[in-house]
């Protein structure tokens, strides 16, 4: 899948002076395999299911480190829990649809949206804009019945 991203992430971590470690590696591999934003709890649970038990603190610490190096994107969709997903070095990214009923999160892409936000980001002078998030709230087909 995005095994290239794994290499990329490990390289950046090494550059930044981090040593290797099993827990962090496991989190990185899981993130690379996942399709969309996961919560810390989901990561911990899925690792335990797969037999690779990782301490909760290590999950959070790893996510914090990856976020600081812009290797993952942190996303807040409003359920009180942060979600994280791989940030590709190409800068390519998507945004999210969130079902406010069941919490389901799905990605979507739109080039025009990106262009519009780019334009706004340049226009704004009071802020030096970096990342951006667009979240569309609603009901997924399943919940809408």
Partner DNA sequence: ATCTTTGCAAAATGTTTGCATTGGT
Partner DNA sequence: ACCAATGCAAACATTTTGCAAAGAT
The count of residues in the chain is: 145
6 binds DNA (CB under 7 A): no
Q: Please give the Cα distance from 60 to 28 (Å, whole number).
A: 12
Q: Please give the Cα distance from 73 to 34 (Å, whole number).
A: 13
User: Considering beta carbons, is residue 14 or 41 the nearer one to a second copy?
Assistant: 41
CB of 15 to DNA, least distance (A): 12
Q: Give the up-direction half-sphere exposure of residue 76: CA atoms within 13 A in the CB hemisphere.
A: 2
51 binds DNA (CB under 7 A): no
| Binding residues among 62-121 for DNA as defined by CB under 7 A | 62, 64, 79-82
| β partners of residue 124 | none
User: Considering beta carbons, is residue 20 or 126 the nearer one to a second copy?
Assistant: 126
CB of 88 to DNA, least distance (A): 23
Reading the block at residue 59, the tokens are: 């999950």
User: Considering beta carbons, is residue 75 or 86 the nearer one to DNA?
Assistant: 75
């Amino acid at each position: 899948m995005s095994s290239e991203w794994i290499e990329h992430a490990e390289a950046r971590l090494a550059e930044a002076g981090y040593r290797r470690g099993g827990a962090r590696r496991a989190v990185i591999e899981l993130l690379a395999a996942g399709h969309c934003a996961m919560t810390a709890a989901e990561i911990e649970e899925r690792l335990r299911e797969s037999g690779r038990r990782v301490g909760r603190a290590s999950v959070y610490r790893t996510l914090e480190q990856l976020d600081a190096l812009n290797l993952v994107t942190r996303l807040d969709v409003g359920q009180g829990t942060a979600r994280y997903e791989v940030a590709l070095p190409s800068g390519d990214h998507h945004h999210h649809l969130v079902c406010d009923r069941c919490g389901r999160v799905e990605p979507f892409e739109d080039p025009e949206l990106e262009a519009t936000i780019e334009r706004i980001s340049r226009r704004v002078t009071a802020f030096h804009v970096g990342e951006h998030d667009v979240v569309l709230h609603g009901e997924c087909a399943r919940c809408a019945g």
